Amino acid sequence: MNSALRLLTVLGGSILLTAVVGWVIDVLLRRADARHPETPLWNSLRRCRTALQIVLLAALLRAAYRQTVWRPLQDHEEAVGRALSLALIGAGAWLITGMASATVESGYARYATGTRDPARVRRVRTQVTLIMRVVTAVVGVVAVAAMLLTFPSFRALGTSVLASAGIIGIVAGVAAQSTLGNLFAGFQIAFGDLVRIGDTVVVANEWGVVEEITLTFLAVRTWDERRITMPVSYFTTRPFENWSRGGAQMTGSVFLHCDHSAPVDLIRDKVREILDHCPQWDGRGWDVAVTETTPSTMVVRAIVTAKDPDCLWTVRCAVREQLIGWLSEKHPHALPRLVLEGAGDRDRAGGGTSPGARPPVRRLSGP
């Protein structure tokens, strides 16, 4: 009866103390959050309450479980101690990762709130994301190593591994050359400001927005909701287009093939009218000019501007669609026409005929 009472006292006391400490810390964090609403740090730290309670409970039980004289517990004393140690290490890693994540996210949120430059915000967001992945990976590796060292057999194995660490390091470096290359490329992207989360890029002839950057791969979301996943080393070894670098505003062009008789001045006026009624046009500039001619058509180029690539695409489509519709309705002769003329037609046009002339070919024209 005495052993059972001791067991209940140790177990119940540890649970009660853990619950009280967790409640007190949660109250203090809520008060701190109420006094400092400008930072989300204190509210984010409240998410670490469960991990903290597990750490505290495992530490209390690990220190006091030998004080119980309960026979089944004494028979498995080593296994129980190892299980509590594993729980303590795992919960400690969870707590460290959670606190680091809350601190980094709080700093990023304050920076994003006080900065008006979206490019710098995306750069910091990319760096914060990669830093958190590195911290999580390092804490996880250390936690797993600490767990393995609680087993005596792994301690002996660790001694032999350290003795041959040089050879193993060389072999591992050669085998993981590609992985290490992507790892260092990820750091280069994060702190070299090559590409950021939210940037509009063109890679492998595909247009899209950078959605995710990790230490080994990068995901691009295309305009049709596809995901292109490629190693981060692609962006450090090959050229690519970054439409968001140096500012999101862009200039685009719309090309139309028209007949030589097309009224360029009226087309210029119509483009201006279309842009005045297009909310995506930022008003920075526009132009219409004939840039090329062929034996059958001339190329009319309209230049438009917009605040970002998405708006630019909308403006270009609106100008192209409305301009073609206006030409079809008001000036059908301005659209390209295809004329097929045979030798017989040319002879009749010249006032003569020739033996064996081909039958006349019908003239085909556009609208």
pLDDT per residue of the chain (367 residues) written in tens, 0 to 9 = 466 666 677 777 778 888 888 888 888 888 888 887 777 888 888 888 888 888 888 888 877 766 666 666 666 667 777 888 888 888 889 989 988 888 888 888 877 777 777 767 777 787 788 778 878 888 888 888 888 777 777 666 555 544 444 544 554 454 444 555 666 666 677 666 678 888 888 888 888 888 888 777 788 888 888 888 888 777 777 888 887 776 667 888 899 999 888 899 999 999 999 999 889 898 888 999 999 988 888 999 999 998 888 888 899 999 999 999 999 998 888 888 765 555 455 455 454 444 444 444 333 333 3
Residue 362 CB partners (closer than 8 Å, separation 6+): 340
Q: Over the range 303-338, which residues count as b (16 or more CB within 10 Å of their CB) and which as e?
A: ebbbbbbebbbebbebbeebbeebbeeebeebbbbe
Distance of alpha carbon 334 from alpha carbon 337, whole angstroms = 9
Distance of alpha carbon 243 from alpha carbon 63, whole angstroms = 59
Distance of alpha carbon 270 from alpha carbon 263, whole angstroms = 11
Strand-by-strand arrangement of the 281-293 sheet: 250-258, 298-306, 281-293
CA-wise closest residue to 140 among 98, 185, 85: 98
Q: How many CB atoms lie within 10 A of CB 83?
A: 15
Phi, psi of 102 (to 5 degrees): -65, -40
The residue assigned the tokens 């210029």 is: 268
Distance of alpha carbon 65 from alpha carbon 10, whole angstroms = 7
